Chains A and B, each alone.
Chain A
Amino acid sequence: MAQLVGLSLATFPTWIAISQQRWAASLGWAAVWLLVLALTVVPLGGRPAVGWLAAAAAFATAGLAGWLTFRSKASRGAVRDLDAVDMPGALAGVEVLDGPPTGWDQRRVAIIKNSAARTWAITARIHHDGVAMATDQTCNRYTAGLTELINAAARGELIDEIHLMVRATPDDCTERELWLRANIDPDAPVTSVATQLEHLRWSQAGIRTDTFITLVIPEARLAREARHMGGSRQGRLNTIWSLATEIGSILTGPMGATTVTWLTSPELAEAVRLGFAPGDRDTLTGAAHEATTNPDVNAHVPWAHAGPSYATAAVRHYAHDAWHTVTSTVKLPERGATMGIWGHVLAPSEPFERRCVTVVFPIEKQTVADRKAAQAEFGQSLGQGLRDRLGVRTGAKDVHRKHKLDQAEAQLAMGAAMTHPYAVCSTTVPATAPIAEFGRRLDAAIRRGSMAPQRLDMSQDLAFVTATIPLGISLARTTR
């Protein structure tokens, strides 16, 4: 809107020059206006020039004022409530609630309330066999499963975003070490035991993959539905849980997940902590193991400690505790892409590097999707009609675009949902490693997947949160 007003104002000198019949000046001002138009509209690296100026100004102001830096209450000795979330910037409005007790083990699943976006979210950890060794037939089945997931979310008209996050983390082998301690036979031959110890060292060059799904439900949609489930907060939590079970059955059914575990508050806190500090995993796993025999050991991460102690946003990366992260979004190739393009991105280039890929599916309401498709089709038809009347040749790209619009409209009519997905990829390395180099390697990995990387400069903090913290923070939400 501001851009539109700015552009309108920028035409005034031209009109004034015309009204004064100063034709040369009016032509000059028109040229200036066109330049302003180009700077405002044409994106360079994702933003138009004006957008870059605004972002740079905000970044510089915040940097000078010290707003970019985050210091946790714990690091300042100011923690009053261990259960209160204490995290930087975009996560400041997040609160984590315990859902209703569910299932035979009466787990209380964590519900994420984001006051800044006025949304609710729920997160699960998924185990899946992947597609690395799947046949084309299985891949097609999984693809249909993902479509079914989006369609089911759209049909319910409650979920408006689904986040799928994959983290490829260096393997600290803590579980292996604990297992070896418990299982090595005291009478075992020396060679066999020595081999185990050598392998433990080797295995630390391996990686482990964690996968999360987060469902985001806006309050505007939930409040009405929650009335039927008991109203108030309890009604909301019950509604969210019923959505989670519905989506869970699609994950384990058509999408082929072997297990889906909706996270409790301590589990989610751990997932968040490991998002900020992947190196903490060994101590947390060790503590969890010790807690099974020693009740005095606290294996849980309190929410006040789940965030970073210190974090700051640089122009091209984000620094959090002893780690640095670079996050990029991707542009798909024009010729289309195939399933499995993320394989290169999820392969760390060094044993200490962590890679993350988060794919977000914002889902449009069916009515809105139909209207937008009709509008696009109308615009296309109008343009085509004008071109035909003026005798302008219709290029191959126009034909392709028309075909895509027709196809989208046909699919919507057949019950498909409209979504506008995006992906963010990140690399996290210890602060001692050259982050610029690892940023380049991430870009190279994205290119190997036949996509084009776009570094999310001056927004690395928010991009990091979406890429690695499974709390359902959206980059596409335009409200507020």
Chain B
Amino acid sequence: MARTIATLLSDFGHTLPTRTPTPKESTRREFTTAPSWRGRPTAGAGWVPSRPPVKQYRMTSDQVGIWWPLLTASPLPPTGAAMGTDVANGTTFYVDPHGWVLDDTIPVTNPNIFIFGKPGRGKSAWVKAFLNRMLAFGYQALILGDPKDEYEVMCRHFGVEPWAIGPGMPARLNPLDPGPLAADWDTLDADEHRRRTAIIFGRWVVLLRSLIGSQSIGHQKVPVGPTEEQILTTVLKHLTHATTDSRQLAPIVIGQIWHALQSPDPTLIDDLRYANREEFLRDTRLLRDAVAQLISGAMAGIFDAPTTITIDWTAPIQSLSLSRLEPLGDDAIGMALMCLNSWGTAMRQAGGRRRINVRDEVWRQLRLGTSAVASFDADLRLSRSHGDIEIANAHKPSDYLGAGHTGSQAQQIAQDLLHLGDIKVLFGQDAEVADDLEQLLELGPIARDTVTGWAMGSKGRALVAVGPRLHKVHLTLHPDLELPLTDTNQAIT
């Protein structure tokens, strides 16, 4: 007779839990009582006097579709910002990107929000209302470049003076600022130095690649390959003394990089395995000239000096006005946006509160070439890990295709970017844009009709795509609390 599992385990000192014997169920028959369907005919029993004359239809099961009663979507959880009314079912529509990512029942895997809409349909009002509402939950807003100064009113309302940058302005912003990660450098051990250096250098190299790669020779962008990247990394190490001095991470500016390339240190030439100085200077001519453009061109005196502004890390909103760069053209604004991107990454490394990064007119940055697109792509991909909500504002989906020539790598990445935003807010569009909506966003004919029809009926109407689910949402603004902050037509009135 084989031993039971319980006996076997007891030999090794384990005792299986035993189930208390359940009392034997009575075997009495079911339905021994037979009350009437009317209930009891006694006072206070609620007796039913008659059966309702309900109208029945006899049909085969293939015809039952007209009885389909599940018309409206079950509401999303009431978390995050209340962004208006879902007109399909009359419920309040809440937007909570982080909450949605964490909720498995909602088909959202990243907290990025892409907003598209014709100018004047309510894009900016939506973003500002969203920011105001999310600030209540401990979020901080960072406007990564405000080309039209439209966030200034909001910033001042929250007691924050927005910074303005441009030619001749006193404010300087150094994109190569190591940021809060360099704080207390001398107290950190070697492992922590290595970890932080890797993060900081990674950010710097991405930025420099983007800036250099955004410049053109004729129709071609300046190539930034592995050799150029190696040169930049080595220069940065030399300038910061990251590997030789553990007391501090020396702050650097772009101008110093140009100097280091123009007058190379012998150790730099050795480290980069060049035979002599002449060979080094010959091979890095294009790189040197591209860096020189950054400090002598349109951007001179803006991003090439140490940061002069004091950053309040606890302010609810921070914004950088770029309207003064407008006369320098789209490229200047695009490059400024890229530098700000890098600066925003540094701010993010301060940790602490969750942040909402707003990128207005994002198409300007995407036009700067593959590296610029790749840097934006990286931010979107990492939004899950660093806990930020990235909001990208554009007029139409095809803005993302302006990132490069047809079929180019930049355009391919930009097109794929659209899939990194699970939340899309689509304001009214003219019929010509409808094809983009169907093809690029793969939202189908319902979205197309809604955006070109219903959403054009009134300001503030938007089709919100939560993953594949679509909601027709009408933005509601409080007349006293929010309307003065979100009105973008002040310049006209």
Interface residues of A (CB under 8 A from B): 43, 45-47, 51, 54-55, 58-59, 61-62, 65-71, 76, 87-93, 113, 115-118, 126-135, 142-144, 146-147, 150-151, 154, 164-166, 168, 171, 173, 175-176, 179, 183-185, 187-189, 191-196, 198-199, 202-203, 206-209, 211, 219, 223, 232-234, 236, 255, 257-259, 311-313, 327, 329-332, 336-343, 346-348, 357-359, 361-362, 407-408, 411-412, 416-424, 454, 456, 458-463, 466, 475-477, 480
A-B contact pairs, 28 of them (CB 8 A): A54-B50, A61-B49, A66-B43, A93-B36, A117-B37, A127-B105, A128-B70, A128-B74, A134-B446, A135-B445, A176-B92, A191-B132, A199-B476, A202-B92, A208-B75, A211-B70, A329-B52, A329-B55, A331-B55, A338-B66, A343-B72, A357-B69, A416-B62, A421-B57, A423-B67, A454-B55, A462-B50, A480-B36
Asked whether, in the complex, the Cβ of A130 is within 8 Å of the Cβ of B137, the reply is no
Interface string of B453-493 (1 = CB under 8 A from A): 00000000000000001111000101001100100000000
B444 on the A face (CB < 8 A): yes
B170 on the A face (CB < 8 A): no
CB distance from A412 to the nearest CB of B (A): 6
Contacting residues, chain B, for A342 (C-beta < 8 A): 69, 71
CB distance from B301 to the nearest CB of A (A): 34
Asked whether, in the complex, the Cβ of B89 is within 8 Å of the Cβ of A92, the reply is no
Asked whether, in the complex, the Cβ of B53 is within 8 Å of the Cβ of A422, the reply is no
Asked whether, in the complex, the Cβ of B30 is within 8 Å of the Cβ of A359, the reply is no
Asked whether, in the complex, the Cβ of A258 is within 8 Å of the Cβ of B25, the reply is no
Asked whether, in the complex, the Cβ of A346 is within 8 Å of the Cβ of B25, the reply is no
Asked whether, in the complex, the Cβ of A461 is within 8 Å of the Cβ of B46, the reply is yes
B90 on the A face (CB < 8 A): yes
Asked whether, in the complex, the Cβ of B36 is within 8 Å of the Cβ of A192, the reply is no
Closest chain A residue to B468 by CB distance? Answer: A129
CA distance A115 to B38 in the complex (A): 12
CA distance A336 to B59 in the complex (A): 13
Contacting residues, chain B, for A189 (C-beta < 8 A): 135-136, 158, 316
Contacting residues, chain A, for B79 (C-beta < 8 A): 179, 183
Classify the interface of chain A: helix, strand, loop or mixed.
mixed
Closest chain B residue to A153 by CB distance? Answer: B61
Also in contact, A420 and B56, with CB within 8 A (given A115-B34, A191-B481, A411-B62)? yes
**A130 in complex: contacting residue of B25, B47, B73, CB < 8 Å:** B73
B88 on the A face (CB < 8 A): yes
CA distance A458 to B49 in the complex (A): 7
Contacting residues, chain B, for A171 (C-beta < 8 A): 91-92
Contacting residues, chain B, for A89 (C-beta < 8 A): 38-39, 45-48
Chain B: residues with Cβ within 8 Å of the partner, total of 82
CB distance from B374 to the nearest CB of A (A): 34
CA distance A115 to B35 in the complex (A): 7
Interface residues of B (CB under 8 A from A): 25, 27, 30-31, 33-62, 64-75, 77-79, 82, 85, 88-92, 94, 105, 132-138, 157-158, 314, 316, 444-446, 450, 469-472, 476, 478, 481-482, 485
Contacting residues, chain A, for B42 (C-beta < 8 A): 67
Asked whether, in the complex, the Cβ of A192 is within 8 Å of the Cβ of B133, the reply is yes
Also in contact, A133 and B52, with CB within 8 A (given A411-B62, A418-B58)? no
CA distance A123 to B450 in the complex (A): 36
Contacting residues, chain B, for A454 (C-beta < 8 A): 53, 55
Asked whether, in the complex, the Cβ of B61 is within 8 Å of the Cβ of A417, the reply is yes
CB distance from B135 to the nearest CB of A (A): 4
Closest chain B residue to A473 by CB distance? Answer: B37
CB distance from B415 to the nearest CB of A (A): 23
Contacting residues, chain A, for B77 (C-beta < 8 A): 175
CB distance from A463 to the nearest CB of B (A): 4
**A203 in complex: contacting residue of B37, B43, B92, CB < 8 Å:** B92
Contacting residues, chain A, for B33 (C-beta < 8 A): 93, 115
CA distance A460 to B27 in the complex (A): 39
In the A-B complex, the 9 residue pairs with the closest CB atoms: A88-B46, A46-B53, A70-B46, A143-B65, A89-B39, A67-B47, A185-B138, A459-B52, A132-B88
CB distance from A247 to the nearest CB of B (A): 14
Also in contact, A185 and B47, with CB within 8 A (given A207-B91, A423-B67, A459-B53)? no
Asked whether, in the complex, the Cβ of B58 is within 8 Å of the Cβ of A203, the reply is no
Asked whether, in the complex, the Cβ of B68 is within 8 Å of the Cβ of A142, the reply is yes
Contacting residues, chain B, for A143 (C-beta < 8 A): 64-65, 68
Contacting residues, chain A, for B158 (C-beta < 8 A): 189, 191
CA distance A93 to B73 in the complex (A): 35
Asked whether, in the complex, the Cβ of A459 is within 8 Å of the Cβ of B50, the reply is yes
Asked whether, in the complex, the Cβ of A132 is within 8 Å of the Cβ of B72, the reply is yes
CA distance A92 to B36 in the complex (A): 9
Contacting residues, chain A, for B39 (C-beta < 8 A): 88-93
Asked whether, in the complex, the Cβ of A339 is within 8 Å of the Cβ of B68, the reply is yes
Contacting residues, chain B, for A332 (C-beta < 8 A): 57, 66
Contacting residues, chain B, for A336 (C-beta < 8 A): 66
Asked whether, in the complex, the Cβ of A183 is within 8 Å of the Cβ of B31, the reply is no
**A195 in complex: contacting residue of B48, B70, B94, B481, CB < 8 Å:** B481
CB distance from A336 to the nearest CB of B (A): 7
Asked whether, in the complex, the Cβ of A90 is within 8 Å of the Cβ of B48, the reply is yes
CA distance A233 to B44 in the complex (A): 32
Also in contact, A233 and B92, with CB within 8 A (given A89-B47, A116-B37, A475-B52)? no
Asked whether, in the complex, the Cβ of A116 is within 8 Å of the Cβ of B35, the reply is yes
CB distance from A323 to the nearest CB of B (A): 15
Asked whether, in the complex, the Cβ of B69 is within 8 Å of the Cβ of A166, the reply is yes
Contacting residues, chain B, for A423 (C-beta < 8 A): 67, 69
Asked whether, in the complex, the Cβ of B40 is within 8 Å of the Cβ of A92, the reply is yes
Contacting residues, chain B, for A223 (C-beta < 8 A): 30
Contacting residues, chain B, for A416 (C-beta < 8 A): 60-62
Please name 4 further chain A to chain B contacts, defined as beta carbons within 8 Å, in addition to the given A67-B41, A89-B45, A133-B469, sorted by A numbering.
A58-B50, A133-B88, A195-B132, A203-B92
Closest chain B residue to A92 by CB distance? Answer: B39
CA distance A192 to B141 in the complex (A): 13
Asked whether, in the complex, the Cβ of B68 is within 8 Å of the Cβ of A146, the reply is yes
Task: Indicate the member of B60, B133, B472, B478 with the most A CB atoms within 10 Å.
Answer: B60
CA distance A43 to B53 in the complex (A): 10
**B60 in complex: contacting residue of A133, A207, A408, A422, CB < 8 Å:** A408
**A192 in complex: contacting residue of B37, B61, B72, B132, CB < 8 Å:** B132
**A173 in complex: contacting residue of B36, B55, B78, B485, CB < 8 Å:** B78
Asked whether, in the complex, the Cβ of A419 is within 8 Å of the Cβ of B61, the reply is yes
Asked whether, in the complex, the Cβ of B46 is within 8 Å of the Cβ of A183, the reply is no
